Structure 1
Amino acid sequence: MGGEVYRFDDCELHTSSFQLLRDGQPVHVEPRALDVLRHLIEHRDRVVSKEEILDQCWGDTYVSEAALTTALRTARIAVGDSGAEQRVIRTIQRRGYRFVAAVEARVDGGVRQTTVERVDAAGASQSIRYCTAADGARIAYATVGDGPPLLKAANWMTHVDLEWSSPVWSHWLHGLARDRRLIRYDERGCGMSDWDVPSFTFDDWVDDLETVVDAVGLDRFPLLGVSQGGAVAIAYAVRHPERVSRLILAGSYARGRQVRASNDHERAEAALDLDLARVGWARQDPSFLRVFATQFLPDGTSDDWADFTDFQRRTTSPENAVRFLEAFARIDVSDIAGSVSCPTLVLHARDDVRVPASQAKELAALIPDSRLALLDSSNHLLSADEPAWPEFLRFIDDFLAEGE
């Protein structure tokens, strides 16, 4: 059997050949620095003391701490890290060091393991695993935090690892995982789930949610749907009323843009939106992607739009992006929303540019035991520094507390 291969960022460490690759190219690293890197990766679940590293990597040879400092600096440079950034190897003052980048491990020539650990600057740790849908599509899901569960349905677009450090999404993870166990996943076609899948339909998305629920072993739980994830959450809640205790819909809609178009002007706008998406994504046109970002974050800064655009590019292929948008436009759960039997909270930005607040009002009218709260924002995805964000979290906390 071959040795272990540890993959993180753009690097691969092959233990059998004692070789480090970056972007597929060999990187020359001083052997002792490679020993230190390997030891930290293999014990990434904890802080490793200086004494342990010296003992394990230098053995009986006496060296000063300066030798360890040099080896750590060399290892960081080799993997594109630095003492200032500490994205990969973090110094824990007076305790030692910890490897904090997400790691995917496999045996040379074998299959990858199903668990990836990610630790953030605050020390919170999430676990990423895989489950397999009935048609063979592999779905990546992540758990973070402790306490009662909260499951978030997938939405446009997700990457359970990259979200951890994304300015667009990281505050969502920390806010929703406070005093709770947050479970979320990447829908088929994007993120860490399979991109090349046999089928790509709304029913598949509901099936994927069902697969994640079974893999995690959830019994009865609150379910959060954001944007088009709200429609998926509604369909699941109707299919499994015994499992969903409470439903939260944020920036969601019952009918996609093509379905809800009621006149020639709206139909033309919906068609144009898709045409622009096909051309813009196929060409990876920066001007289109920036305009698209401003629809999600109209109150954002140029840095916010750049971060959102970069995140989109890294989460799926141009072909899948178009498939997603085409499928979103055809969503229609208006005929089943009235069958949702659990208490439901509908949250929406009052001046949402991407999905108008009229869609939230429609959801609240369709779902029997529902309440509507409009937030003072224009952003489809709430940002960390706007007043609506803590208000959003308070609404969710209060709503969930009622059912606990």
Structure 2
Amino acid sequence: MTDPATEPASDDLLRRMAPQVLGALLRRYGHFDAAEDAVQEALLAAARQWPEEGRPRNPRGWLIRVASRRLTDQLRSEAARRRREETAAALTPRDAFVAPPPGEDRAPAEEDTLTLLFLCCRADLPAAGRIALTLRAVGGLTTAEIARALLVPEATMAQRISRAKRRIRTSASPFGSPADPADPAAGEQEQEQAGERERAARLADVLHVLYLIFNEGYTATSGRELQRADLATEAIRLTRAVHALLPDDGEVAGLLALMLLTDARRAARTGPDGSLIPLAEQDRTRWDRDAIAEGVALVSDALTRTPLGPYQLRAAIAAVHDEAAGDEDTDWAEILALYEVLVRLVPGPVERLGHAVAVAMVHGPRRALDLLAALDDDDHLAGHHRLEAVRAHLLEMAGDRAAARAAYAKAAGLTLSTPERRYLLSRAARIAE
């Protein structure tokens, strides 16, 4: 059992528990906005009290109890202020406001987080809003981090999150099960089909959110560290839980495989000083071979027995990289063929950027630079460091040293990640020598 005197609160612990506590409160009370505020107050209380008093032996239970008290106080105060006792009483029975003693009526942490994950991905919210809201609630990402992950301005993302919360507040059933078909007179078959469409849309959002959380963990969009291992690990854990619920879904298996195959390189991605090491220069003996084997098995099975999907294709690309003995052994022709299929299914800017790199490795950098020119007008990538970093790499491959140096410097000025900035500046300096 944990000794509370030796392990005070930590940012990683509180970040990991935040969605679990929020999921528990929503499962019990509803009221997303109020529950989120109560959780934040409980986390602040923990950050203040635990370093002085020691970490409790059941930190999650402590946070749930404190957050529950804050939430019930807030709900009661609001009811009194508005003089709407009858409405407040109808929201939930009085005894539900009291957090149960430790060990009683308590769902596992994983269940709470999964519940929160699926509940946030509501069909009656706009797609962008529900994905952003879920990243905020489940991933603990800031509005700025979500904006960078989705390649939109921060102000736009703040508005989307606010609108999603407002929609939840005015909803008749804020956190219920999947919505019924819009037409109550629809036949049984139509209702079943509508339910299937709603579940498929909700699952797609869940997978997208988990993918974005993992990406932020694998390559942080800002800060002094290249990776946030806690986020990547949590994304893998949750994706495993979804896979356990839906073992026959090919895209769930594909996403889990993609995460495992990508995260397997984590130890080799940074030097002792935290500097970025690109894929081509990594020590592959440091890659996690067990994770690679599991990822390859997952994606191979999904590709042979389920409909083809984007996550399976991304995982297959990652598998080709991971199975190569060295960078020079990478089968770029196979990677290009996989990207050709991927950009037909998902013609997004990030996918097209990866496709351009594969084209360069097979057909040369000049053809790839022509593809990049078409991305200059893309609203999502315009002014983004990824586009300039890839352009710099291709220009360096083409032998245009001056243009490559300028592109590396421009990319360095656009990124908010310290390791990425240092790497890009070092590339520019190396070309100048």
**Larger % of strand: which?**
1
Fold match, TM over 0.5? no
**Larger % of helix: which?**
2
- When normalised by structure 1's length, the TM-score is 0.30
- When normalised by structure 2's length, the TM-score is 0.29
